[in-house]
């Protein structure tokens, strides 16, 4: 009776065997290729690794930052993507590969020069209390707009940081004052050393939006 009902000559065992073999072949073909393509995502999202190693990079001296406008520094960070720039000899000397350049905007809070820097000689090392004071008053910002990542610039006439793409506006502290950006500019992790030199890490954060990454830069 049951055999009569079974119109398909394939037995249950054969069906299961075919299914298992098919799944096996499918897995072997697809899973490695998907993981291969996704490996940067796995490293970045799951393992929270970055293309840019955490290193302090020299930015410049606090004595060079003028009042009323941000100073722009170009900083080159090492970048590891399709090749490992950490390997000596792997990359030819003088090649500009394995490097990502960031534009860093540095300004004093509200554009006011801290009083302790007035009439102060650059020769004297800074004391830790002074470093703490300067760290509080210094803005170290990335130039990528918080909206869509276009490069922002300081406009001397408007006294504002402007984005050319969709009209995002920030004040001298990088605080969002107009246009589509959801929050202010990204701030770098930085430190001021005794001789007044600022060092930055390729590690950006926004005070109001923890966890969000700027990408691209």
Partner 1 sequence: MIARIKARTRQRGRDLAGWMEERTGLISIMEKMLYEPTPKRGKWLYTLGSATLFLITLQFLTGILLLFYYVPSTDEAWDSIYYIMNEAYFGQYVRGIHFWSANVLLLVIGLHMMRTFLSGSYKPPREMNWVVGVFLILIVTILAFTGYALRWDMEGFYAWEVGMKIASYTPLIGDWMVTLLLGGDTAGPATLSRVFAIHVWLLPAALAPLIGIHLFLLRKHGEYGAPFEYSERLAKLRRSRQKRQYLEEVDEESGTGGE
Q: Which is nearer to partner 1, 50 or 177 (CB)?
A: 50
Q: 190, 198 in Cβ contact below 8 A? A: yes
- Report the alpha-carbon distance of residue 150 to residue 88 in Å, rounded: 34
151 lies in the site for partner 1, by CB under 8 A: yes
Candidate residues 61, 165, 175, 201; the one interacting with partner 1 per rule CB under 8 A: 165
129 makes contact with partner 1 (CB under 8 A): no
Question: Is the separation of the CB atoms in 87 and 41 below 8 Å?
Answer: no
161 phi/psi in degrees, rounded to 5: -95, 125
Binding to partner 1 (CB under 8 A): which residues in 29-48? 37-38, 40-41, 43-45
The reply to whether 217 sits near partner 1 by the rule CB under 8 A is yes
Beta strand residue intervals within the chain, DSSP E: 57-61, 71-78, 99-108, 138-142, 153-155, 160-162, 169-170, 176-178, 187-192, 197-205
| Burial per residue of 95-104, b for 16 or more beta-carbon CB atoms within 10 angstroms, e otherwise | eeebeeebbb
Nearest to 141 by CA among 190, 178, 195: 190
* Residue 52 near partner 1 by CB under 8 A: yes
Nearer to partner 1, 27 or 148 (CB): 148
Can you tell me which of 15, 17, 63, 83 binds partner 1, judged by CB under 8 A?
Answer: 83
How many CB atoms within 10 Å of residue 79? 18
Residue 213 interacts with partner 1 (CB under 8 A)?
A: yes
CA dist 53 → 99, 101, 203 (Å): 11, 14, 10
The reply on whether position 133 binds partner 1 by CB under 8 A is no
93 binding partner 1? (CB under 8 A): no
Residue 55 makes contact with partner 1 by CB under 8 A: no
Give whichever of 96 and 128 is closer to partner 1, judged by the CB atom: 96
Considering only residues 51, 69, 133, 160, which one is a binding residue for partner 1 as defined by CB under 8 A? Answer: 51
- For residue 95, state whether it binds partner 1 (rule: CB under 8 A): yes
- Angle among Cα 186, 187, 192 to the nearest 5 degrees reads 165
Shortest distance, position 102 Cβ to partner 1, whole Å: 9
User: Which residues make up the interface to partner 1 (CB under 8 A)?
Assistant: 37-38, 40-41, 43-45, 50-52, 79, 81-83, 95-97, 100, 147-151, 165, 213, 215-217
């Amino acid at each position: 009776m049951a055999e009569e009902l079974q119109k398909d000559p394939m037995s249950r065992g054969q069906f299961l065997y075919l299914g298992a073999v098919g799944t096996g072949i499918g897995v072997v073909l697809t899973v490695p290729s998907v993981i291969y393509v996704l490996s940067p995502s796995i490293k970045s999202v799951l393992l929270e690794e970055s293309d840019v190693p955490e290193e302090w990079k020299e930015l410049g001296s606090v004595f060079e930052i003028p009042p009323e406008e941000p100073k722009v520094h170009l900083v080159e960070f090492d970048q590891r993507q399709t090749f490992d720039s950490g390997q000596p000899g792997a990359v030819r000397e003088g090649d500009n590969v394995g490097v990502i350049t960031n534009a860093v905007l540095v300004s004093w809070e509200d554009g006011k020069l801290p009083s302790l820097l007035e009439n102060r000689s650059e020769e004297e090392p800074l004391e830790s209390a002074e470093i703490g004071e300067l760290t509080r008053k210094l803005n170290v910002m990335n130039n990528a707009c918080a909206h869509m990542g276009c490069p922002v610039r300081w406009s001397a006439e408007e006294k504002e940081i402007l984005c050319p793409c969709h009209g995002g506006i920030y004040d001298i502290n990088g605080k969002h004052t107009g246009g589509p950006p959801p929050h202010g500019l990204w701030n770098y992790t930085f430190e001021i050393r005794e001789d007044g030199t600022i060092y930055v890490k390729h590690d950006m954060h926004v005070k109001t939006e923890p966890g969000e990454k700027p990408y691209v830069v």
